[in-house]
Amino acid sequence: MRLLRTMMLHKVQLLAVLAFGLAVLFIENQIQKIDESREILEQTIARHEVAEVEQRHAEAGGQVTSSLSEADNVVVIYNRVPKTGSTSFTNLAYDLCGKNGFHVLHINTSKNNPVLSLQDQVRFVHNVTSWREMKPAFYHGHVVYLDFSKYGVKGKPTYINVVRDPVERLVSYYYFLRFGDDYRPGLRRRKQGDKKTFDECVATGGPDCAPEKLWLQIPFFCGHHSECWNVGSRWALEKAKANLLSEYLLVGLTEELEDFVMILEAVLPRFFKGATQLYRTGKKSHLRKTTEKKPPAQDTISKLQQSDVWKMENEFYLFAQDQFQFVRAHAVREKDGKLSVLPQSFFYEKIYPKVS
Ligand SMILES: *[C@@H]1O[C@H](CO)[C@@H](O)[C@H](O)[C@H]1NC(C)=O
Ligand SMILES: *[C@@H]1O[C@H](CO)[C@@H](O)[C@H](O)[C@H]1NC(C)=O
């Protein structure tokens, strides 16, 4: 009996040990499972974090590519004055835009009015500034200077222009209205059929050759202020000079267009790479000549030169000439009768703190 009880007890103990062992095994198994899940969870979290970092990088990178680089964001505005030989220069831009990868846009204003209404000024400034698909862009047209900084946009365009001797410009315009040019020979001109020469016009005091008609390059550089159009205004002359210096990257002369092109190529290669070569080889095709132009007689010129308007327009022209020749003297060198632009002649040194 006793033996039997002991055997039973042994059995119970054995069972208990067995159960305990099983329980331990089960718990270990569960712990391992938890460990595995934790590992999976950690891996998932890590993967998620990596993805997040990568996404942030991609976003930052995307921002760099979607916001245009400095050179590709440039807008050049050439607010050309009529009859300054500007078509020759504009055609260069059309010939280069495909190869150099920029857009050229003509600003066509109704009735060729060079002054924009206030609402058009706002439209134009906002459109030019935000129109990414067109950048880099070269805009040209007979529009007077417009100061972008007062319309609440970031950044300013790069203005360039060309000026011409005021009497020659007026003579050219006079004949252009009567005979057109070899550029669009079929087009009917406003004063077509009028055979009167410029000399005859000045002698008889006609309106198309009146000294007031000289007042054009000053208002083009002066801009959208009432006083700019006040013929003979000293304030307008000073404003035009100040704008020429501070708001224009470069103002060339009709009489020295090749040098203008050469310096522009050095200053704005993103647009004008290859322009000098093209201008030299294709000189004829880029020239636009007013047909039937008779040079004015000396006393015609003298008569115009007596007017205050001529004196001021001429002062502005000489001012532009001085400035252009100053720029050229510092930008170009002559060697064996050939002009070339100077290479970079500054460098940095003594850069601190040293990078190790
Ligand atoms: C400007 O647009 C008008 C109307 O479409 C057109 O007749 C004129 O020829 C354009 N001007 C120039 C210079 O192309
Ligand atoms: C700018 O104006 C043109 C012509 O009106 C238009 O097609 C273009 O969508 C405008 N761009 C912007 C960014 O407003």
CA of 183, nearest ligand number: 1
The pLDDT, as a whole number, for residue 65 is: 46
Structure tokens at 175: 């004949």
Nearest to 154 by CA among 117, 126, 131: 126
Rounded distance from Cα 119 to ligand 2 centre (Å) = 15
Q: Is 130 in the pocket of ligand 2 (CB under 6 A)?
A: yes
The pLDDT, as a whole number, for residue 35 is: 80
- Name the closest-CA residue to atom 3, ligand 2: 127
The pLDDT, as a whole number, for residue 17 is: 77
Rounded distance from Cα 147 to ligand 2 centre (Å) = 20
Amino acid at 66: S
Q: Is 127 in the pocket of ligand 2 (CB under 6 A)?
A: yes
pLDDT in tens, the chain (356 residues): 566 666 666 777 877 778 877 887 878 888 788 788 777 777 776 676 666 655 655 555 444 445 667 889 999 999 999 999 778 899 999 999 999 999 999 999 998 999 999 999 999 999 999 999 999 999 999 999 999 999 999 999 999 999 999 999 999 999 988 887 766 666 767 777 788 999 999 999 999 999 999 999 999 999 999 999 999 999 999 999 999 999 999 999 999 999 999 999 999 999 999 999 999 887 655 556 665 678 999 999 999 999 999 999 999 999 999 999 999 999 999 888 888 899 999 999 999 999 87
Q: Is 132 in the pocket of ligand 2 (CB under 6 A)?
A: no
DSSP strands (E only) in the chain = 75-78, 103-106, 137-140, 158-163, 248-253, 332-335, 338-341
Structure tokens at 353: 């703190």
Using an 8 Å Cβ cutoff, are 174 and 209 in contact? yes
- Whether 103 is catalytic: no
Using an 8 Å Cβ cutoff, are 116 and 55 in contact? no
- Active-site annotation holder among 106, 140, 225, 286: 140
Angle at 291 between CA 288 and CA 295, to 5 degrees: 105
Q: Is 67 in the pocket of ligand 2 (CB under 6 A)?
A: no
Structure tokens at 167: 């009497």
Q: Quick: pLDDT tens for 103-138.
A: 999 999 998 999 999 999 999 999 999 999 999 999
- For the whole prediction, is pTM greater than 0.75? yes
Rounded distance from Cα 290 to ligand 1 centre (Å) = 19
How far are the Cα atoms of 113, 116, 190 from residue 110, in angstroms, in the given order?
6, 10, 15
> How many helices (H) does the chain have, and how many strands (E)?
13, 7
For residue 72, the number of C-alpha atoms closer than 13 Å in the C-beta half-sphere is 10
- Whether 140 is catalytic: yes
Amino acid at 279: Y
Rounded distance from Cα 125 to ligand 2 centre (Å) = 11
- CATH architecture of the domain covering 67-341: 3-Layer(aba) Sandwich (3.40)
State residue 105 phi and psi, 5-degree precision. Answer: -130, 130
SS3 for 142-205 is CCCCCCHHHCCCCCCCEEEEEECCHHHHHHHHHHHHHHCECCCCCCCCCCCCCCCCHHHHHHHC
Q: Is 73 in the pocket of ligand 2 (CB under 6 A)?
A: no
Task: Go through 175-202 and write b for each residue having 16 or more CB atoms within 10 A of its CB, e for each that does not.
Answer: bbbbbbbeeeeeeeeeeeeeeebbbebb
CA pair distance 301, 173, nearest whole angstrom: 15
CA pair distance 249, 162, nearest whole angstrom: 11
